[in-house]
């Protein structure tokens, strides 16, 4: 077994919602080892609680780095606290690339505002929340990037001098799954905005494995 699931959370989501995310993860991930890095204690795999250091992308990357150093496998499977993953996401067998990204990503909004009453799934090109990375390579990337942030960082992403991720310029390889990963936008995450693909093929009310958008929303609201 050369993969570990790395689950990271700032614990800013509603606890009932996040437990549903964790339950789905455990249902679909098989017997892979899990390292979870959280800001409040949670019961998921080997948990590392860093304390309530605040929500920011820099802190997210630091939490990922902490978890990556605890894991011992060659590869890490990223898992976020507002993401649904189908079984095949965890079943992929990486060979020798440094970064793999799932090629079937859809967005689902969970706002209760009346202006969002016409709900659809919207496809996205990729997400860093649905990627598999070579652990040692990833550690080196994160350590180099975080040299400019020697401590936890509580300012918003828009205040960063350099608003790019540690792996923005790194090459990656797509891996395919017929069943999508779903990123849910609750307004409680680090960012509520996201890029989506346009055109009718990238909009749907029903997705394989997950079903109808309104039924899925009702399950997680």
* Mean pLDDT per 10-residue segment, the chain (221 residues): 95 95 98 98 98 91 97 98 97 96 95 66 95 98 91 69 77 97 81 78 97 94 83
Angle at 73 (CA atoms; ends 131, 54), nearest 5 degrees? 55
Specify the pLDDT at position 114. 55
Specify the pLDDT at position 157. 56
Closest CA to 162 of 172, 174, 147: 147
Residue 60 and residue 127: Cα distance in Å, rounded? 15
H-assigned helices in the chain: 15-28, 57-70, 87-91, 135-145, 213-220
Give me the CATH code for the 3-153+160-220 domain, please. Answer: 3.90.550.10
pTM: 0.92
CB proximity list for 169: less than 8 A, separation 6 or greater: none
- According to DSSP, residue 37 is labeled E
Q: What are the domain boundaries of the chain?
A: 3-153+160-220
């Amino acid at each position: 077994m050369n993969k570990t699931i790395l689950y990271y959370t700032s614990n800013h989501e509603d606890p009932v919602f996040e437990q549903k995310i964790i339950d789905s993860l455990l249902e679909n991930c098989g017997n892979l080892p899990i390292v979870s890095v959280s800001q409040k204690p949670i019961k998921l795999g080997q948990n590392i609680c860093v304390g309530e250091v605040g929500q920011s992308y820099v802190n997210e990357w630091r939490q990922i780095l902490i978890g990556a150093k605890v894991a011992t496998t060659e590869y890490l499977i990223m898992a976020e606290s507002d993401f649904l993953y189908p079984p095949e996401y965890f079943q992929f067998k990486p060979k020798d690339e440094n970064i793999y990204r799932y090629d079937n990503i859809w967005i689902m909004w969970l706002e209760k505002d009346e202006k969002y009453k016409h709900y659809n799934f919207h496809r996205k090109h990729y997400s860093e929340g649905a990627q598999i990375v070579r652990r040692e390579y990833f550690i080196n990337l994160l350590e180099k990037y975080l040299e400019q942030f020697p401590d936890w960082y509580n300012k918003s992403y828009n205040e960063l001098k350099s608003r790019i991720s540690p792996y923005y310029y790194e090459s990656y390889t797509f891996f395919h799954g017929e069943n999508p990963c779903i990123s849910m936008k609750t307004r409680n995450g680090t960012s509520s905005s996201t890029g989506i693909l346009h055109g009718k093929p990238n909009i749907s009310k029903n997705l394989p494995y997950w079903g109808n958008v309104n039924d899925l929303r009702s399950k997680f609201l």
